Amino acid sequence: AVHGGYRTALERGFAGGKVPLGLKRKGLRIVVTGGAGFVGSHLVDRLIERGDSVIVVDNFFTGRKENVMHHFGNPNFELIRHDVVEPLLLEVDQIYHLACPASPVHYKFNPVKTIKTNVVGTLNMLGLAKRVGARFLLTSTSEVYGDPLQHPQVETYWGNVNPIGVRSCYDEGKRTAETLTMDYHRGAQVEVRIARIFNTYGPRMCIDDGRVVSNFVAQALRKEPLTVYGDGKQTRSFQYVSDLVEGLMKLMEGEHVGPFNLGNPGEFTMLELAKVVQDTIDPNAKIEFRENTADDPHKRKPDITQAKELLNWEPKIPLREGLPLMVTDFSKRIFGDQ
Ligand code: NAD
Ligand code: UDP
Ligand code: UDP
């Protein structure tokens, strides 16, 4: 069938964007939901650079036009204000499904909406993938492991998640999104990919989104104390955004469904992170302890053996190299250009 006058990749014989050997690669039509957000906008930059046509679908809950404005006027770029909880008709070859608030402050703001975004939003994008024969990539999260009893976390670990807590709208929402993705794969033969993303930082993060790296960097720049929650001994592993984008694209183009952990195995306590921020921005920055939030995972570190072996991917940028790149962007946005 011809949908809206456009032949899908499947009908052209390029299932999921796979180009037959010997043929010059044709630009793909790619939807990025959540493409005006932090990770999405960096992904869009790379896809446009590669010569593909990109449609960003975003409701601007946490995303900003500023993140994609540099593509306005480019005929290969389109921006649609749309909430993925509502159905959407488009003709595309690939769907990168990122739409969902990612920081605890944002996803707890309206938990029911977060669940609807994860469940109904993902269902709609899978329905779209099924109808046009597009390949679908879900950005899931390390939060599916909950407060993990295995360390580091391997993809085969089923996790330790509280189903009725304040983080559940996000954790359980993403777990259901993974289930839906696999059910469309098994039941409707949709080509799918699942990424489990670990804590990621970089330019264009929301300045006041409450995540630890954005908080510490903004606080140090504003000469405010760094707020360490709890005793600061809990750990996270921080990945620079360009490494993640590379991993997402390799996953989409590769042969394997996943789920794949995409993260940087470099593990830091929050106190160690505060020290890196002090060394990078202001050695005199003070530390202030605050009460921790409920159900905060005690430790988190990806086992990325599978991504290394099957996707030939591993992160390249350690925290001490990536942080300064984010600081440049944050100081421009906080202090202006003067
Ligand atoms: P972000 O908040 O910057 O981006 C999310 C984007 O989705 C925003 O532009 C927002 O406006 C949009 N959005 C939210 N709800 C929507 C809806 N109902 N309809 C349409 N658009 C909607 O967050 P991010 O850090 O860029 O995260 C992107 C994806 O990666 C998310 O799915 C998140 O769960 C996942 N992820 C991110 C991290 C991380 O550390 N950044 C870690 C694990 C998983
Ligand atoms: N959907 C969509 N765009 C499409 C095709 C489907 O938004 O191009 C939505 C559709 O409205 C439905 C969901 O995706 O809510 C699941 O679609 P599917 O065809 O799998 O299921 P059904 O519509 O039969 O329940
Ligand atoms: N955290 C902190 N200070 C802050 C914000 C967060 O010490 O200002 C801690 C938080 O308690 C958690 C860790 O940093 O243990 C990571 O939190 P974040 O919200 O960045 O990500 P997530 O909990 O989703 O991994």
Q: Of the ligands numbered here, which is closest to the C-alpha atom of 290? A: 3
Terminal Cα distance for the chain, rounded: 56
Q: Is residue 184 annotated as part of the catalytic site, yes or no?
A: no
What ranges in the chain are assigned the alpha helix state H? 38-49, 104-109, 111-116, 122-132, 168-188, 212-221, 241-253, 270-280, 305-306, 319-335
Bridge-partner residues for 236, per DSSP? 268
pLDDT at 25 over 80: no
Q: How far is the CA of 132 from the centre of ligand 2 (A)?
A: 11
pLDDT at 19 over 60: no
The residue from 107, 145, 170, 240 that is catalytic is 170
Say what the pLDDT of residue 26 is: 74
Q: Of the ligands numbered here, which is closest to the C-alpha atom of 57? A: 1
Share of the chain above pLDDT 70, in %: 92
- Alpha-carbon gap, residue 151 to 247, rounded angstroms: 22
Which residues have CB under 6 Å of ligand 1?
33-34, 36-40, 58-63, 83-85, 98-102, 117, 121, 139, 141, 197, 199-200
Residues 2-14: pLDDT tens digits? 344 444 444 444 4
pLDDT at 24 over 70: no
Mutation choice for ligand 3 from 207, 212, 271, CB with most ligand atoms inside 8 A:
212
Q: Is 82 in the pocket of ligand 2 (CB under 6 A)?
A: no
Backbone angles phi and psi of 238, in degrees to 5: -105, 130
Residues 291-301: pLDDT tens digits? 998 888 899 99
Residues 148-194: pLDDT tens digits? 999 999 999 999 999 999 999 999 999 999 999 999 999 999 999 99
